Structures are given as structure tokens and as C-alpha cells.
């Protein structure tokens, strides 16, 4: 793993009032997320013996064989370094209209987005090509298994994308989507498999844990406590974690030392990086104690960047992702929304864990995609004021991503790391 530390002073951007606003509006409406509920059907189980193919992972981990793998892409290719290629013929991988599982915050065409090029870009690593995504092949690996995404709304964005990539090969009567408390479960009967999303924006316990009702201000994190959430992940075969956006408060983090039930909360303040470090450590400790590396895989998805300030990429003052239709060309572009100091923390904590945690380093490739956000083309939960309507920049969502779109690539990378590590 490349652990070259970034140069420059660690900074977190206080510009995040805007982030707070968007996150709030998006998350607050989470209860509307699942509008398709289906009954499960009795279904006979098709028993097919899966050959157990195993291949070494990389030079460094030759002695470790990872479950689910079926080959190698070889050459030590870093699939996260590459460029975007416009390719109308092979993209998107599905149509917006034929995937009923996309939240209305992400169905950009349905809400009037005029351009489609953002759907037609393929990620091309510099030194290899990604295997093409094969839904049947993925289901075969998932047979009898549970896969779970754990994290915030961006992880839910990726979860929805994966369901869209996978659902079409399952007949209508043999799939279902249900929400139970903090968990959304997609079930494919004939494979006896589930793909789930669990809301835990800090991974550890916090006062933002209710998927529907939570305040965005005054975030309080109980870093020492992960069990309350983790009891729901135990025994899951493939875990995909993320956590980042909620740490960006622009202030020091408020850390709870006792319990949320205490009469008087015992709260201390801590630098964000330090708190983030402790939370990731807590997650790693849990994984090392509870995950069997012979049976399970664990992934961690790095920061999803936002595009709230067009001056970052040399655009006009006052602009953001609104009206952006092309990616950023500068290969070194990083912008101001993804903290390099937080990436350094991720590198430190996730290298050399006792149970392998595979990094999905999607930050750089996503930084280029200022064209791929939901922007103003999404369901608005509150009526827009005339002032807002007159200036769309003020209400563009530059955090989440249209589907089909960028998160499909994150899943192609996940698929690659899962099947061809
Ligand atoms: C997808 O995978 C299935 C099962 O592994 C295989 O039968 C099929 O030929 C593959 N499809 C393509 C297009 O490669
Ligand atoms: C279905 O999968 C679950 C694990 O998710 C497993 O415990 C159960 O035995 C499986 N059922 C059948 C009929 O294969
Ligand atoms: C959108 O961008 C184009 C140039 O790319 C510009 O001509 C147009 O005025 C912009 N529209 C708005 C509403 O900002
Ligand atoms: C993720 O990728 C970026 C850009 O390629 C790199 O600078 C960074 O160090 C990587 N992060 C980790 C934790 O390896």
C-alpha cells in the first residue's frame, strides 16, 4: 500500500455548513428511501456446488488466500490510478428507469437533468483493464451469504448502485427489499443471499444513529462504543465500511466518555483527526476479534469528495457542481473537500491489520468527477423559495452522486478486489 504522506498542513474545511445542510435534508428524508416493499416468496433452493478457487493476493500477502476470489488481474496493477474515458457504447451499465431501487435523491434524469454524459464514462486504470462486471458471477459468489454496507449516505449511494447492477438477473418474484430499523435488506431468493445497508455514519455509536431523526448540529460521538452497531454485523460474510463526511464539523469533535443515558453527559473535545483515528482503530479491533479471514472479506471505502467550490478547479467564483458536465482534467487535482490528513489516518490505521481490510481508494478518481453529482436534479423535500429558484447554485447537492453514475465504478472496483484480488 502506498503510504506516502501528503505534504502540507492538515486542515479540515469549515465550509461545511453547506455539507451539513445537504446532509441534513438528504438524511432527514431517509424514511422515504425504500418505497418498494415486496413480500418474500417461497422458493426452492437451487443447490450448486461452488468450486473453491483460491489465488494469492499480492506479493506482500502471498501466504494469505482470500475467500471469494477467482483469479488475478496481475501485474501489481493499481486499479485506483487511471483516467476517465468517454464511452457511449458500453456505459451506463443499467438504465435509470429500469432500476426501481434508486432513492429519489439520485434519479437525476427523472428530475430533469438535461445531459447524460456523466453516465457514459468508464474508469481506465493506467496499467491494466478492469474485468467486466458480471452480475451472475457475483451472485454465484454470494450464494448463501450476507453482504453488508455499513456507514453513511454515501455508502448507501454505493449500496443502491450495487443493487441496480445486480437485480436484473433475478426474476421479479424472487427478490425483495425491506427496511427494518437501521437496516435495509435486499434479498435474492434463488441465491439465498442478502445485500444489506446498515446506517452508522461514524461506525461507532453517536447521537446521529437514528437513520431518520437526527440533528446535524451538535454531533457527539461515543468513540469507545461500537458493539451497539456491531452486533448487527456479526457473521456477515462481506463487510463494506465507510465513514468520513460526518466528521467534518469544522470544529473539534465532541467525544462522549460515559453513556448517552447519563444524566449529565461527560464530553471532551478532541482534534478531528485524533478522534477519527480512534474510531477507525475501534473498527479494526472489532474486525480482528470477530471476523474470520478464512471465510469473510472486509473493505473500507475512502472519502467521497464533494464539489462545492468551483474555484478549487479554476472555475468562476460562487459556482459549484451545478451546471458541470465534464470531469476535471488535471491528474493531480485534489480540491479542498477531501482532507489529506484524514487519508493519512486511514493509511496508518488500515495497513497491517491482522485481518486483511481491503482499501477501496476511490477518493482521487472521484475528485475528477465534478460532473457526476445529483446537483439540483433530485427530489426536493421542502418547497424551494423564489430566491433559491433564481439561483440554483444555492441548493445544488454536490455531495451525492446520480445513478447510474460514479458509484457504479466504485462497485466495479469492489467487484475487482473481491473476485480478482
Ligand atoms: C457471467 O458469469 C456466468 C457465471 O459465471 C457465466 O456463465 C457467463 O458466461 C458470464 N457472462 C459473460 C458475459 O461473461
Ligand atoms: C441461507 O443462508 C444462510 C446464511 O445467510 C444460511 O445460514 C442458511 O443455511 C442458508 N439456507 C440454505 C437453505 O442454504
Ligand atoms: C452553464 O454553463 C455554460 C457553459 O458551460 C454557460 O454557457 C451557461 O451560462 C451556464 N448556465 C448557467 C445557468 O449557469
Ligand atoms: C489513495 O490514493 C491517493 C491517490 O492515488 C494516494 O495519494 C493515497 O495515499 C491513497 N491512500 C491510501 C490510504 O493508500
Backbone angles phi, psi at 325, to 5 degrees: -125, 0
Catalytic site residue 262?
Answer: no
Query: DSSP letter string over 4-60?
Result: PPPPS-----GGGHHHHHHHHHHHHGGGGS----------PPP--PPP----B--GG
Q: 296: which DSSP letter?
A: -
Alpha-carbon distance 307 to 24, whole Å? 17
How many residues does the structure list for the chain?
A: 421
Task: Kindly give the number of the ligand 4 atom that is closest to the alpha carbon of 350.
Answer: 13
Exposure of 331 by Cβ count < 10 A (0-12 exposed, 13-18 middle, 19+ buried)? exposed
Whether the Cβ atoms of residue 289 and residue 300 lie closer than 8 Å to each other: no
Which of the ligands is closest to the CA of residue 141?
1
The neighbouring-strand residues paired with 175 are 188
Q: Whose CA is nearest to atom 13 of ligand 4?
A: 347
Three-class SS of 44-57: CCCCCCCCCCCCEC
Alpha-carbon distance 109 to 122, whole Å? 19
The grid cell for 137 is 458471477
Task: Kindly give the number of the ligand 4 atom that is closest to the alpha carbon of 347.
Answer: 13
Any atom of ligand 2 within 6 Å of the Cβ of 167: no
* pLDDT one digit per residue (tens) for the chain, 421 residues: 333 333 333 344 434 434 443 344 333 333 332 222 222 222 223 333 333 344 434 434 444 467 877 666 666 789 999 999 999 999 999 999 999 999 999 999 999 999 999 999 999 999 999 999 999 999 999 999 999 999 999 999 999 999 999 999 999 999 999 998 889 999 999 999 999 999 999 999 999 887 666 666 689 999 989 999 999 999 999 999 999 999 998 889 999 998 999 999 899 999 999 999 999 999 999 999 999 999 999 999 999 999 999 999 999 999 999 999 999 999 999 998 888 999 999 999 999 899 999 999 999 999 999 999 999 999 998 899 999 999 999 999 999 999 999 999 999 999 999 998 7
Site to substitute for ligand 1 among 69, 93, 131, 137, most atoms within 8 A of C-beta: 137
Which of the ligands is closest to the CA of residue 148?
2
> Ligand 3 mean position to 323 CA, how many Å?
6
pTM score: 0.85
Which of the ligands is closest to the CA of residue 1?
4
Residue spans per domain, the chain: 4-419
Whether the Cβ atoms of residue 133 and residue 420 lie closer than 8 Å to each other: no
For residue 224, the SS3 value is coil
Alpha-carbon distance 61 to 362, whole Å? 22
Q: Look at residues 305, 370, 358 and name the one whose alpha carbon lies nearest to residue 84.
A: 370
Edge-first strand listing for the sheet containing 146-151: 175-180, 183-188, 193-199, 146-151, 238-242, 297-301, 357-360
Catalytic site residue 400?
Answer: yes
Amino acid at each position: 500500500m502506498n503510504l506516502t504522506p501528503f505534504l502540507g498542513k492538515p486542515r479540515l474545511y469549515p465550509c461545511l455548513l453547506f455539507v451539513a445542510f445537504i446532509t441534513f435534508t438528504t438524511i432527514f428524508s431517509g424514511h422515504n428511501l425504500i418505497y418498494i416493499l415486496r413480500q418474500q416468496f417461497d422458493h426452492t433452493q437451487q443447490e450448486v456446488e461452488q468450486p473453491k478457487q483460491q489465488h494469492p493476493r499480492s506479493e506482500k500477502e502471498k501466504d494469505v488466500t482470500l475467500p471469494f476470489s477467482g483469479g488475478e488481474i496481475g501485474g501489481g496493477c493499481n486499479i485506483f490510478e487511471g483516467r476517465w474515458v468517454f464511452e457511449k457504447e458500453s456505459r451506463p451499465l443499467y438504465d435509470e428507469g429500469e432500476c426501481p431501487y434508486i432513492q429519489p435523491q439520485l434519479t437525476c434524469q427523472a428530475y430533469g437533468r438535461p445531459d447524460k454524459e456523466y453516465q457514459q464514462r468508464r474508469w481506465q486504470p493506467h496499467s491494466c483493464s478492469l474485468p467486466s462486471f458480471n452480475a451472475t458471477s457475483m451472485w454465484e459468489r454470494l450464494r448463501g451469504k450476507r453482504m453488508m454496507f455499513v456507514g453513511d449516505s454515501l455508502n448507501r449511494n454505493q449500496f443502491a448502485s450495487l443493487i441496480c447492477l445486480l437485480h436484473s438477473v433475478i426474476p421479479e418474484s424472487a427478490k425483495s427489499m425491506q427496511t427494518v430499523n437501521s437496516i435495509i435488506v435486499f434479498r435474492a431468493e434463488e441465491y439465498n443471499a442478502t445485500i444489506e445497508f446498515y446506517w452508522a455514519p461514524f461506525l461507532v455509536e453517536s447521537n446521529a444513529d437514528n437513520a431518520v431523526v437526527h440533528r446535524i448540529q451538535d454531533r457527539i460521538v461515543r468513540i469507545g462504543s461500537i458493539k451497539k452497531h456491531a452486533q448487527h454485523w456479526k457473521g456477515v460474510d462481506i463487510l463494506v465500511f465507510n465513514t468520513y463526511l460526518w466528521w467534518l464539523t469544522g470544529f473539534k469533535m465532541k467525544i462522549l466518555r460515559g453513556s448517552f443515558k447519563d444524566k449529565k453527559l461527560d464530553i471532551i473535545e478532541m482534534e478531528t483527526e485524533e478522534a477519527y483515528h480512534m474510531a477507525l482503530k475501534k473498527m479494526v479491533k472489532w474486525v480482528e476479534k470477530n471476523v474470520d479471514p478464512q471465510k469473510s472479506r472486509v473493505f473500507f471505502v475512502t472519502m467521497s469528495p464533494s464539489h462545492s467550490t468551483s474555484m478549487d478547479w479554476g472555475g468562476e467564483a460562487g459556482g459549484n457542481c451545478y451546471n458541470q458536465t465534464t470531469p476535471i482534467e488535471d491528474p493531480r487535482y485534489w480540491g479542498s473537500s477531501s482532507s489529506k490528513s484524514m487519508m493519512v489516518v486511514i493509511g496508518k490505521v488500515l495497513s497491517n491489520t491482522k485481518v486483511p481490510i481491503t482499501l477501496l481508494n476511490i477518493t482521487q478518481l472521484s475528485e475528477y468527477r465534478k460532473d457526476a453529482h445529483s446537483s439540483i436534479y433530485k427530489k426536493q423535500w421542502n418547497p424551494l423559495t423564489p430566491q433559491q429558484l433564481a439561483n440554483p447554485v444555492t441548493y445544488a447537492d454536490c455531495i451525492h452522486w446520480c445513478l447510474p453514475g460514479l458509484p457504479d465504478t466504485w462497485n466495479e472496483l469492489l467487484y475487482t478486489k473481491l473476485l480478482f484480488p
